[in-house]
A and B are shown apart, each in its own frame.
Chain A
Amino acid sequence: MKTLLWGALPYIAVVLLVAGTIWRFRYDKFGWTTRSSQVYESRLLNVASPMFHYGILFVVVGHVMGLFVPERWTDNVGLNEHTYHLLSLYGGTAAGVLAVLGILMLLYRRRTNAPVFKATTANDKVMYLVLLAAIVLGMWAKLAHSSVSEGYDYRQTIAPWVRSLFTLQPDIDRMAGVPLLYRIHAVVGLLLIALVPFTRLIHMFSAPVQYLFRPYVVYRSRDEGQLGARPERRGWEKSKL
């Protein structure tokens, strides 16, 4: 069981994430969208959606800091465990509260607004369940094992386990003493990662950063294969229009 959860599940999730994304990109570009429901209801969304998204982005940054920055590094720049704990407690809680409030408002809107609820698919419902579970469990785990003076130091256990996954030698034993809530949160989190390519969460991979660097007006030539009996042959063609 331990091996399955901490040795196999992470790899399964990552394989599903990568393979699923490639599959989605090749077979379902048309379905790759945020599926916005803003045309039905705008007022609540304008508050809740930025709140949730900015919250969850800070949460992601927090996870990257906690899991991928070894304790040794923060020690070297003179950040001791207690200071780090306070940073993670206050910063993480602030981001978490934003995300939780945001998603609760979004869920309320989704349930009570008839057109929005009608546009909600079964796929969405599963996704919302797992997403909400992951966020709430994470908050719960953090707050249940923390006080201002000290908190559970996941950087001795969970973080090294996560990093060991990348060397393909998962350090399963590290997860043995981890509190139950953290373990459930980790499993649900992995499940969420696996779900990403198969739900609307896929829109996170289309963050349009390229918009900052392209010219405003985009010109494109007509698809050459679209007209005429056959595509142009090489040899005689002049360069493109």
Chain B
Amino acid sequence: MRPMAQIAMVMNLDKCIGCHTCSVTCKQAWTNRNGMEYVWFNNVETRPGQGYPRRYEDQEKWRGGWELNRRGALKLKNGGRIKSLLSIFSNPKLPEIKDYYEPWTYDYKNLTDAPLGDDYPVAEPRSLIDGKPMKVEWSSNWDDNLGGAPEYGDLDPMVEKVRRQARQAEADEQARQAADKVKFAFEQTFMFYLPRICEHCLNPSCVSSCPSGAMYKRAEDGIVLVDQDGCRGWRKCVTGCPYKKVYFNHATGKAEKCTLCYPRVEVGLPTVCSETCVGRLRYLGVILYDADKVTEAASTQDEQALYEAQLGVFLDPEDAGVRQAAERAGIPYDWVEAARRSPVHALISKYKVALPLHPEYRTMPMVWYIPPLSPVVDALTETGHDGEDADNLFGAIDTLRIPLEYLAEIFTAGDVGPVRSSLTKLAAMRAHMRAVNLGERPDRAIAEAVGMDGPGIEEMYRLLAVAKYEDRYVIPTAAVGDARRLEESAVPDTCSLDHADGPGMGGDGPFGQDSGGKQLPLVTIENFHAARKRQTSDEEPDDVREQQ
């Protein structure tokens, strides 16, 4: 076991109202610069929709993530090391700026400087790429709120997948129904919002694609970063990332990506997107995982088993053995404690309501999502049923306006089981809490039907619905970790005198103690007169630092 710590995020999609505040504040903080005009480290997509960049989920085209080779071993989908180096002079699978969108500004000057004439002056759109007048035809969020869905909706790669599977199993009644459910007629349609940032994966394919070794995963907190001095602009990472969350800065010629706001996280503050989230739907916390198991889990043959495999990589911080191993691996005490209180750990491993985004890419993503329980309550009430009755709710989940099959393509590689299980828990929570609020005695059968108990459901309710700031963000500071490192560990794995140049450093050696090696500087102890002068003088002496 090799425990490592990771700062991870969970987003509760039921609460996302699609206001884009996270995107805007992130943009203002990180990418409002030359060369990064088209870049959104955080973006909010309306699903079904093509996403940003367009159709990024179509890995047969963009070749992101991993796949298994014939021997069942992990291999970068865009090709191994040798192929990667041989094709380094261009990158055929690189999205162009137009696949994201061509950024523009407006010719505002014309409003004041236009010569006198009959026409009212207008501010024409100007491309920020070539400076010429342009026609605005697409943006990072063109299909927001299903804009153009009857025309573009079919292009959503996940919609295509649901429909393809339905066609293959024409005889299968259930699959055909799923296809029927993905409708785009306006009055029957469905949608939800999907905010996306970098996944800070456990098995990052961008890092693995970087020929220069400039991208790395931070050992302390698992944040994936680009070393700007090491990046040589080969662009392999952009292709390697299946979520297309590494971007090419066309002004500096270097890759840039979401940093999980590490300067904030290091001092215990949540990321900008989390801090400013209006719906308060984001959770940040520590997850302990076993680094030795990552490759094995990512190589799981069955794509639909990858979700369970990733759960198996996470360690339970309540386990004393895990805590001791973490201590031994140098994970600071505060981090282990934070992992015990981690809301992310609770939502992922304890309640099992959060699911990973596209586990089939085999990158072991670390930003997870609680699937949306679409407006099921209202829909049920409209049909004359009691919308918050547990039995009605459970029954309604299979006929949700957002088809389970579509959610499953996004979160569990097509396996509806975990999605249904997560949604029934959310439904049970509603039914249980209604009873509590009405002063009734909650029916224990509701909680038991989803494998939970009353107090457990109420805890989950506190985390999901009350969602206090300090419950949502449990972030240990990096400085505490460092301070801890300066002290001696509670469970030393070596002799404490065994540090460099220490007396326990393997004895005196053949040439005696004073031979070779650097001597510690000689330190004089402050003498009596100097001490009295320092203690009685009005001003602090200049040489006080030297004397100490």
A208 within 8 A of B: yes
A169 within 8 A of B: no
Within 8 A of B (CB), among A194-241: 203, 206, 208-212, 214, 216-222, 224, 227-228, 232, 234-241
Given contacts A118-B131, A212-B82, contact A227 B330 (CB under 8 A): no
**Is there contact, CB below 8 Å, between A237 and B486?**
yes
Min CB gap B357→A, angstroms: 19
**Is there contact, CB below 8 Å, between A203 and B94?**
no
Given contacts A38-B235, A115-B130, contact A217 B220 (CB under 8 A): no
B150 within 8 A of A: no
> Which of the residues A34, A40, A214 comes within 8 Å of B129, measured between beta carbons?
A40
**Is there contact, CB below 8 Å, between B204 and A36?**
no
A167 within 8 A of B: no
Chain A residue nearest to B238 (CB atoms) is A39
What string of 1s and 0s marks CB contacts (under 8 Å) between B215-248 and chain A?
A: 1111111000001111111110000000000001
Min CB gap A60→B, angstroms: 14
Q: Which residues from B are CB-within-8-Å of A221?
A: 218-220
**Is there contact, CB below 8 Å, between A241 and B215?**
no
**Is there contact, CB below 8 Å, between A212 and B85?**
yes
B207 within 8 A of A: yes
Cross-chain pair count, CB within 8 angstroms: 157
**Is there contact, CB below 8 Å, between B219 and A236?**
no
Chain B residue nearest to A221 (CB atoms) is B219
**Is there contact, CB below 8 Å, between A241 and B216?**
no
**Is there contact, CB below 8 Å, between B488 and A50?**
no
A82 within 8 A of B: no
B32 within 8 A of A: no
Q: Which residues from A are CB-within-8-Å of B89?
A: 49-50, 52-54
A94 within 8 A of B: no
**Is there contact, CB below 8 Å, between B330 and A241?**
yes
**Is there contact, CB below 8 Å, between A50 and B90?**
yes
B385 within 8 A of A: no
Given contacts A30-B229, A208-B212, A228-B482, contact A38 B207 (CB under 8 A): no
CA distance A228 to B482 in the complex (A): 8
A35 within 8 A of B: yes
Within 8 A of A (CB), among B368-408: none
A42 within 8 A of B: yes
> Which of the residues B87, B88, B94, B212 comes within 8 Å of A39, measured between beta carbons?
B94
**Is there contact, CB below 8 Å, between A38 and B253?**
no
Min CB gap A110→B, angstroms: 13
**Is there contact, CB below 8 Å, between A211 and B84?**
yes
**Is there contact, CB below 8 Å, between B96 and A42?**
yes
Given contacts A118-B131, A217-B207, A236-B486, contact A34 B253 (CB under 8 A): yes
CA distance A91 to B255 in the complex (A): 38
Interface size range of chain A in the complex: 35 or more
> Which of the residues A53, A216, A238 comes within 8 Å of B499, measured between beta carbons?
A238
Min CB gap B333→A, angstroms: 13
CA distance A173 to B501 in the complex (A): 62
CA distance A59 to B541 in the complex (A): 70
Q: Which residues from A are CB-within-8-Å of B88?
A: 208
B485 within 8 A of A: yes
Within 8 A of A (CB), among B64-121: 81-82, 84-85, 87-92, 94-97
Q: Which residues from B are CB-within-8-Å of A208?
A: 85, 88, 211-213, 232, 234
B42 within 8 A of A: no
**Is there contact, CB below 8 Å, between B220 and A222?**
yes
Chain B residue nearest to A102 (CB atoms) is B89
Given contacts A30-B228, A234-B500, A237-B485, contact A40 B96 (CB under 8 A): yes
Q: Which residues from B are CB-within-8-Å of A228?
A: 479, 482-483
Chain A residue nearest to B204 (CB atoms) is A217
Chain A residue nearest to B488 (CB atoms) is A238
**Is there contact, CB below 8 Å, between B253 and A237?**
no
- Majority DSSP secondary structure for residues of A touching B: loop
Chain B residue nearest to A25 (CB atoms) is B229
Chain B residue nearest to A29 (CB atoms) is B229
A114 within 8 A of B: yes
Q: Which residues from A are CB-within-8-Å of B432?
A: none
> Which of the residues A52, A227, A237 comes within 8 Å of B266, measured between beta carbons?
A227
> Which of the residues B208, B232, B478 comes within 8 Å of A34, measured between beta carbons?
B232
Min CB gap A117→B, angstroms: 8
What string of 1s and 0s marks CB contacts (under 8 Å) between A90-112 and chain B?
A: 00000000000000000000000
Given contacts A50-B90, A206-B212, A235-B520, contact A211 B252 (CB under 8 A): no
**Is there contact, CB below 8 Å, between B90 and A219?**
no
Chain A residue nearest to B247 (CB atoms) is A39
B489 within 8 A of A: yes
Chain A residue nearest to B212 (CB atoms) is A208
**Is there contact, CB below 8 Å, between A39 and B96?**
yes
CA distance A38 to B499 in the complex (A): 51
A76 within 8 A of B: no
A79 within 8 A of B: no
B434 within 8 A of A: no
Q: Which residues from A are CB-within-8-Å of B135?
A: none
CA distance A203 to B227 in the complex (A): 17
**Is there contact, CB below 8 Å, between B212 and A114?**
no
CA distance A206 to B214 in the complex (A): 12
A11 within 8 A of B: no
A32 within 8 A of B: yes
> Which of the residues A35, A217, A235 comes within 8 Å of B203, measured between beta carbons?
A217
Chain B residue nearest to A54 (CB atoms) is B89
Q: Which residues from A are CB-within-8-Å of B481?
A: 241
Q: Which residues from A are CB-within-8-Å of B331?
A: 241
By CB atoms of chain B within 10 A, which of A39, A41, A52, A235 has the most? A39
**Is there contact, CB below 8 Å, between B219 and A220?**
yes
Q: Which residues from A are CB-within-8-Å of B230?
A: 29
CA distance A39 to B207 in the complex (A): 20
Q: Which residues from B are CB-within-8-Å of A237?
A: 485-486, 499
CA distance A209 to B219 in the complex (A): 24
Q: Which residues from A are CB-within-8-Å of B82?
A: 212
Q: Which residues from A are CB-within-8-Å of B482?
A: 224, 227-228
**Is there contact, CB below 8 Å, between A206 and B94?**
no
B250 within 8 A of A: yes
Within 8 A of A (CB), among B403-441: none
CA distance A31 to B210 in the complex (A): 18
Q: Which residues from B are CB-within-8-Å of A241?
A: 219-220, 330-331, 481, 485
Can you name 5 extra interface pairs (CB under 8 A) apart from A29-B230, A34-B233, A53-B89? Answer: A33-B253, A34-B234, A49-B90, A50-B90, A228-B479
Nearest 6 Cβ contacts at the A-B interface: A208-B211, A216-B208, A33-B233, A29-B229, A114-B130, A35-B253
Residue contacts A-B, CB under 8 angstroms, 30 given: A30-B229, A32-B229, A33-B254, A40-B96, A50-B87, A114-B131, A118-B129, A208-B88, A210-B213, A211-B84, A211-B210, A212-B85, A216-B207, A218-B217, A219-B219, A222-B218, A222-B221, A222-B266, A224-B482, A227-B266, A228-B482, A235-B520, A236-B486, A237-B485, A238-B486, A238-B488, A240-B330, A241-B220, A241-B331, A241-B481
The chain A residues found within 8 Å of chain B, CB to CB, are 29-30, 32-42, 45-46, 49-50, 52-54, 114-115, 118-119, 203, 206, 208-212, 214, 216-222, 224, 227-228, 232, 234-241
